[in-house]
Amino acid sequence: MSAMKELGTLRKIHAAGLSIGYTGHSPVLTAIDQVWQGPGIHLILGENGSGKSTLIRTLAGLQEPLKGVVNWDEENIHSIVAPRKITKMAFVESMPPRQSELTVDEALALNGRSRAEQDLWLHRFDLLSLRSKSISQLSDGLAQRVMLVRAILQETPWILMDEPTAFLDVKSRHVMWSHCSSLVEQGRHIMVSSHDFHLLEHNPHLKSVTAIRDHRLHHLDPMGSFAEWSASL
């Protein structure tokens, strides 16, 4: 794949003595020491309000930690300037933008990739016919698919997604996860928080499973079963 050689490098995300949450409130999670590395899907599990979003945003450098540091490879993310940051990590929110009037083409063009590359991904995600539609006119599922393509076109080694399927119907969820698997086959790292983990059971691309319970992180067996994972929440 020609696009691969342009990917920035980032092998591992390392949280050291990390406390996360919002300033002025008690921390959501404390004393996080963990490494996520290697291509594949890194799954974060947890009940609503357990701190999944806060964790994933902090690891992505989009939210300040209360204490401790996040290192991307050996670098503290605080010392990485924005233009380099965006070559390493792309982010997908759980709610696709409902108010953006940008057309699909205009939104994707913000990554500054070639038209041919953009077309290729629009084709792969079955979005070609919608290219001149405004995002605000698309269904949640289609809009989220556009946001995933946008993240892919950022051409980063890592894509972090915060419950990307939360607002999608069953079919769109399946489509989303199969796309994630094909991204992994191209050497990408995906970290995702989701309640949809039954859809990832026995997925050969699953690299790690981390559960949040009682304000702590727990490692689960990526080869484990849905029942085992559920029991540990």
Q: Residue 60 Cβ, how far from other proteins at the closest point, in Å?
A: 7
Residue 15: CB minimum distance to other proteins, A: 18
Q: How far is CA 37 from CA 52, 71, 182, 183, 194, in A?
A: 18, 12, 18, 16, 19
- Applying CB under 8 A, which of residues 3, 31, 69, 102 lies at the interface with other proteins? 102
Alpha helices, H only, 6-163: 52-59, 82-88, 104-109, 115-124, 140-153
Is 150 or 211 the residue whose CB approaches other proteins more closely? Answer: 150
In the three-class reduction of DSSP (H, G, I as helix; E, B as strand; rest coil), residue 166 is classed as coil
Q: Which of 50, 54, 58, 103 binds other proteins (CB under 8 A)?
A: 103
Q: Residue 69, interface with other proteins (CB under 8 A)? A: no
Q: Edge-to-edge strands of the sheet including 206-213?
A: 89-92, 158-162, 189-193, 40-46, 206-213, 216-220
Structure tokens that stand for 149 in this block = 């393509």
Contact 29, 212 (CB under 8 A): yes
> Does 4 engage in binding with other proteins (CB under 8 A)?
no
Q: Which is nearer to other proteins, 36 or 91 (CB)?
A: 91
Give 4 or 110: the residue with its C-beta nearer to other proteins. Answer: 110
Closer of 97 and 224 to other proteins (Cβ): 97
Site for other proteins in 17-56 (CB under 8 A): none
Q: Which of 77, 18, 79, 24 is nearest to 51 (CA)?
A: 18
> Site residues (CB under 8 A) for other proteins?
57, 60, 62, 82-83, 85-86, 89-93, 95, 97, 99-103, 106-107, 109-110, 132, 134-135, 137, 147, 150, 154
